Amino acid sequence: MTQPQKYTLSILVENKFGVLARVAGMFSGRGFNIETLNVGPVHQEGLSRITATIVGDQQSLDQALKQCNKLINVVEVEYFGPGVAVSRELLLLRIQADSATRPELMQICDIFRAKVIDVTAENVIVEVTGNANKIAAFYDLVIPFGILKMARTGAVALERGRSPEKLVGAS
């Protein structure tokens, strides 16, 4: 039994009725803990990719992969350990910032290459992308300004190029 760890699963699925419910239901029904879940279509017609991070030991990861693979609408399952994949999250924050505090906030945004995408007299909306560490660091720094609202995607991930991929549309 290994220590609980965070794993990123990348699940290629057929884009069919109820497929997200099947995958999510399998996780909850089998007692796996999903931390984040993302889904969106990919370049191949009729397919979508689900990126999920789960927390568990090696054995629960092993089960999660196999149970996922058993679902008929799942075409391919991969998992990424640390360093194998690039992973990004997107964070949107509405932060309290008036004319007095805004300059300092903008400075922090600059350092993190965060974008201000909406401004009013009392607050701003900021968009920042990056890996989980960068997101966490930015978040810690802006807490003192006062966070009014927040939305966060959780990780999407792709494994680093290990073999030449076929070009989109190539047969």
Q: Which residues bind another protein (CB under 8 A)?
A: 12-14, 17-18, 21-22, 25-26, 29, 44-47, 59, 62-63, 65-67, 69-81, 84, 159, 166, 171
3-class SS string, 50-98: EEEEEEECHHHHHHHHHHHHHCCCEEEEEEECCCCEEEEEEEEEEEECC
Residue number with CB closer to another protein (26 or 132): 26
| Smallest separation, CB 128 to another protein (Å) | 28
Burial group, residue 21, by CB count within 10 angstroms (0-12, 13-18, 19+) = exposed
For the bound state, the minimum distance from the C-beta of residue 51 to another protein, rounded and expressed in Å, comes to 14
- 72 vs 100 by CB, closer to another protein: 72
18 or 164: CB nearest another protein: 18
Q: Are strands 47-56 and 123-130 parallel, antiparallel or unpaired?
A: unpaired
Residue with smaller CB distance to another protein, 132 or 158: 158
Tokens 């989980």 locate to 132
